[in-house]
Structure 1
Amino acid sequence: MYLGLDLGTSGLKGLVIDASGAVMAEASAPLQVARPHPGWSEQDPADWVAAASDVLRKLAGKIDMAAIAGIGLSGQMHGATVLDAADKVLRPCILWNDTRAHAQAARLDADPRFRAISGNIVFPGFTAPKLVWMAEQEPELFARAAKVLLPKDYLRLWLTGAHVAEMSDAAGTSWLDVGARDWSDDLLAATGMTRDQMPALVEGAAISGSLRAALGAEFGLKPGIPVAGGAGDNAATAIGLGVARAGQGFVSLGTSGVLFAATDGYAPAPETAVHTFCHALPGTWHQMGVILAATDALNWFSHIAGASAADLTANLGTLQAPGRALFLPYLGGERTPLNDAAIRGAFIGLEHATDRAAATRAVLEGVVFALKDCQQALAATGTKLDTLIAAGGGARSDYWLSALATALDLPILVPEAGEHGAALGAARLGLMAATGASLEAMPLPPIAHEIIPDPTLTAAYADTYNRYCAAQTAIKDLT
């Protein structure tokens, strides 16, 4: 059996598969985000270790842990986990959706080397500008920084004792030469960093280290089993869904929203605010449009409405034309295509007829139109999607997926277990590292059903998207 550990923003999930890819057991533990100041988003890495320990204990109550032959990792990207020379965490991890380093990101992005070498805009949520912020705002801590790890790679350190990252996650730091799949000494030097402060790099299906004996004894795992390089959450989701060839893609309705497209090769287009990253397999890359709030927007509204997200979406019925109310989901800035850390969300067009159901639909539609923006940005790079698979917790809402399929004019395949994506991909990478198996030899996840665009509503969604774009321009001017 093979274990995947997926370190998300709101929780950590463990998934165990057998050699055929069938799910044998799963467990999860919640995580909280601290927001001590506006625009800040942090987590204590000790909470990740506690959550991982909880998950392993839960799994030990379900399966024989000694049968696990390999471990893979996936996780939230871009977080700055800064360690001293003794591997002590110097400060809470600055997460992917933290925008405090927007000024530093703009300065780095103005240096043409960053887009030329990394293939991407330097977004405020990326790792490098956070270290520049530390150098300027926390110089005493920055002076003690011996290693910078991405979140899942801190779990790797706990599991193996090794400082290692892999290509897909490292591509989101603004320090990687994404075409060459290696750290860039020029970009590191431009941010006051050195290669010695970076973890070693491996490919996602390569062995990154071996499980420490003490952890094996604690959780019933065999010591020395291989731990794969793994992948950032979106690349791991793609591996779980079998998305690795050009034309294949997925749409993720998780905390953030992602429109992911596998590509034939490395083809950066940073001017579009599309992310061009290494994929988890050697010699492969991918592009994606990213929005910062998908289910996060629905969860925000659920707190205001006094009902759970599931309750809000359960009784929406069949797909309707968008109403007058518009929602712009920019609760903490936006990435694709706006690259604007300061923009904020809004409800527009509220009227007496806007009840809770209408407002809920507006929130769902706002996320849909933000992902339509991503589709437009991908198209501007020449990337075309032939198929889409749904992933993430939001994929449990057929109403949401129907709206998305209609707005994007693409059918969407719904897997039987779409929420397994990143954890399943991590487990598959663990299997590949342990056995040398290829992704092509693994079965595709079973599809529960297909959601097709509603041709009777295509024009209504296109018209409302045009209104959304106009509102977007107005909000930019106001914020």
Structure 2
Amino acid sequence: MSDPLFLGLDLSTQGLKAVLVDADGVLTHESSVNFDRDLPTYGTTNGATKGPAPGEVTSPVRMWLDAYDLIMERMRDAGVDFSRILGISGDGQQHGSVYWSKDAERLLSSLDASRALAEQLAPDAFSLPRAPIWQDSSTTHECRELEEAIGGPQVLADLTGSRAYERFTGNQISRIRKAYPDAYWATARVSLVSSFMPSLFLGEIAPVDVSDASGMNLMNVLTCKWDDRLLEACGGPELRSKIGPEPAPGGEFLGKIHPYWVQRWGFSPDCGIAPFTGDNQATVIALSVPGDAILSLGTSTTLLLSIPPAETAPKCFTTSHLLSHPTTPDAYIAMLCYKNGALAREQVRDAYADHDWTRFNELVEQRPVGNDGYMGLYFPLPEIIPPNVQGTFCFTTSPSVQPIPEGSMPAAAHARAILESQFLSIRSRITAILPPDAAPLQRLVLSGGSSANQTIRQAAADVFGMRVFVAGKEGAAEGGAQLARFAWWREENGGMGSFEEMRAMDGEGARMKCVAEPDAARERVYAGLVEPYRAAEDAVVRMCAEKTA
């Protein structure tokens, strides 16, 4: 037999991507479908539809089915030999949910290879034709109800890894139960986008992956089991059956591929289907191992900490997320999400650096580390961390932290100020999240648009005191392929071995290169600025609260 391949599929908001890796973990193929461009009849904008109710954002499930057929056609046309694929996994946009009808299992199990998926499954396999996705914000009332039922946001965060968020599936289910009762009672099973995806390959509804289940407000993040109090609060006594079996760990195949795929596309009947996970977790799988931190510098700023198993579980705060790790038992992924990332950096660039990144970088490099005692916090949009703050706030930090008018801060200081404040906000929270007995973080892996900027890379290395690496462009889909490969690799090794052991043989240097080394003297300056930053942030929170009082 030819060398095996492993397929990873990434169903994001805007499209479906497929990648193949070989048995050595090397990327060999990429294909993609863009929902707006390639499937325009659905009328989506960036893959989604707003309304009709305030805050509702959904995607048509049939569009995702059509995308599956289209990406298979593109892979076939590119010469992919489907018979070489021995494992399939992937990821879906976190928090999206799919509602299966009572006919779904029968329709999935009896797929006819002469017909496309959408012809056979839509609409009859679904009690709701449109899936609520992560951008939906219609469940604020349900979030407050859930927190009250459990004992408050901190109690819920300690139990599930997060306080109640509008996009989380438990709160989505709670709203659908009230707003669309007929659809809810017609629902036999609820999937996440990530468990919807392998269901199509298996011909039966797949369980939710243990890591993606962490983003539902329904699972106990320490035991990795569904919590009956949460199920009852969100969906009543019937939700236990609708949610399916206990969440599935990674590293094991759920079953073999359905004959539909063998007959229609030429897959091997020996191809195994592994659990699919969330997009953030798949990015962690693609780019890091426990002991690494990933900093995504895109439109938003997101820190993902891959925390190895430790005697003490990580702490969870109402401003952070704690997710079970998709491959490593008793390990976690901690996540900090900031709404104001690239947008804030670009606004400072436009206002103080003539809309030019080269000029922005020059201003950063002209200013000393610590910015001569000036600090600036920039929130063009209402922020998540710290919550409910908006505006630009300037301070002096010596001899004490004092607010000053924006115009009193030197114009040349703003470029360095935004980088230092964004990174200090994250640094100030890392120590609190990590267990006291956790080993020090080893590497900082940058991704997103700003990761190409060497000045920003160096600032990150100095603030965090870590070597900085830049990620490749494959991201979540490549992580999905590695999850499939991991399940196959463990099966080949008698069910033994860790994900880290598999990746240790992959030639890490070829996948990632170090782009910035920390300067020890600069890192010491930033260590001394953590407390002044916290004082400035506390002052911003007070000022914004007084404004809205």
Could you tell me the TM-score, scaled by structure 2's length?
0.72
CA apart distance, 1:378: 1.8
1:24 to 28, 44, 63: 28
Tell me which residue corresponds to 1:452: 517
Structure 2 residue 139 is the aligned partner of structure 1 residue 74:
no
Aligned pair in 2 of structure 1 residues 382, 171: CA closer, same or farther (>3 Å)?
Answer: same
CA apart distance, 1:369: 5.0
Tell me which residue corresponds to 2:309: 264
CA apart distance, 1:279: 0.8
Structure 2 residue 100 is the aligned partner of structure 1 residue 83:
yes
1:404 to 437, 457, 460: 460
Tell me which residue corresponds to 1:12: 16
CA apart distance, 1:212: 2.9
CA apart distance, 1:286: 0.8
Tell me which residue corresponds to 1:144: 186
Structure 2 residue 433 is the aligned partner of structure 1 residue 378:
yes
1:80-159 matched pairs, under 5 angstroms: 80-86=97-103, 87-110=125-148, 111-112=150-151, 114-115=156-157, 117-159=159-201
Structure 2 residue 322 is the aligned partner of structure 1 residue 243:
no
Aligned pair in 2 of structure 1 residues 359, 49: CA closer, same or farther (>3 Å)?
Answer: farther
Higher deviation after alignment, 110-119 or 134-143 = 110-119
RMSD: 3.8
Higher deviation after alignment, 151-160 or 209-218 = 209-218
Contact residue 259 and residue 375 of structure 1 kept, 8 A: no
Tell me which residue corresponds to 1:168: 211
Higher deviation after alignment, 202-211 or 435-444 = 435-444
Counterpart Cα distance in 2 of 1:426 and 1:202: 15
Aligned pair in 2 of structure 1 residues 363, 432: CA closer, same or farther (>3 Å)?
Answer: same
Cα deviations by residue, 1:14-42 (Å, 9 ceiling, x for unpaired): 22111011111112333523344765443
Counterpart Cα distance in 2 of 1:358 and 1:53: 53
Could you tell me the TM-score, scaled by structure 1's length?
0.81
Cα deviations by residue, 1:62-101 (Å, 9 ceiling, x for unpaired): 5323221111112322223223323315153323343332
Letter in 1 for 2:517: I
1:298-337 matched pairs, under 5 angstroms: 313=357, 316-317=360-361, 319-320=364-365, 321=367, 326-328=377-379, 330-331=381-382, 334=384
Contact residue 289 and residue 377 of structure 1 kept, 8 A: no
Greater Rg by CA: 2
1:346-361 matched pairs, under 5 angstroms: 346-348=391-393
Aligned pair in 2 of structure 1 residues 282, 324: CA closer, same or farther (>3 Å)?
Answer: closer
Tell me which residue corresponds to 1:441: 502
Counterpart Cα distance in 2 of 1:59 and 1:181: 36
CA apart distance, 1:250: 2.5
Tell me which residue corresponds to 2:71: 55
SS of equivalent to 1:402: helix
SS of equivalent to 1:191: helix
Contact residue 178 and residue 277 of structure 1 kept, 8 A: yes
Counterpart Cα distance in 1 of 2:314 and 2:186: 34
Contact residue 297 and residue 363 of structure 1 kept, 8 A: no
Tell me which residue corresponds to 2:112: none
Tell me which residue corresponds to 1:222: 268
Contact residue 195 and residue 276 of structure 2 kept, 8 A: no
Counterpart Cα distance in 2 of 1:166 and 1:157: 12
CA apart distance, 1:314: 6.8
Structure 2 residue 223 is the aligned partner of structure 1 residue 180:
yes
Counterpart Cα distance in 1 of 2:66 and 2:417: 38
Counterpart Cα distance in 2 of 1:118 and 1:328: 28
Tell me which residue corresponds to 1:474: 543
Tell me which residue corresponds to 1:2: 6
CA apart distance, 1:169: 0.5
Counterpart Cα distance in 1 of 2:31 and 2:225: 34
Counterpart Cα distance in 1 of 2:134 and 2:436: 24
Letter in 2 for 1:263: P
1:359-374 matched pairs, under 5 angstroms: 367-368=422-423, 370-372=425-427, 374=429
Counterpart Cα distance in 1 of 2:131 and 2:25: 33
Letter in 1 for 2:12: G
Tell me which residue corresponds to 2:277: 231
1:34 to 46, 49, 65: 49
SS of equivalent to 1:28: strand
Counterpart Cα distance in 2 of 1:259 and 1:8: 18
**Which consecutive unaligned segments of at least 5 residues does structure 1 have?**
306-310
SS of equivalent to 2:96: coil
SS of equivalent to 1:400: helix
Identity level (%):
22
Tell me which residue corresponds to 1:283: 329
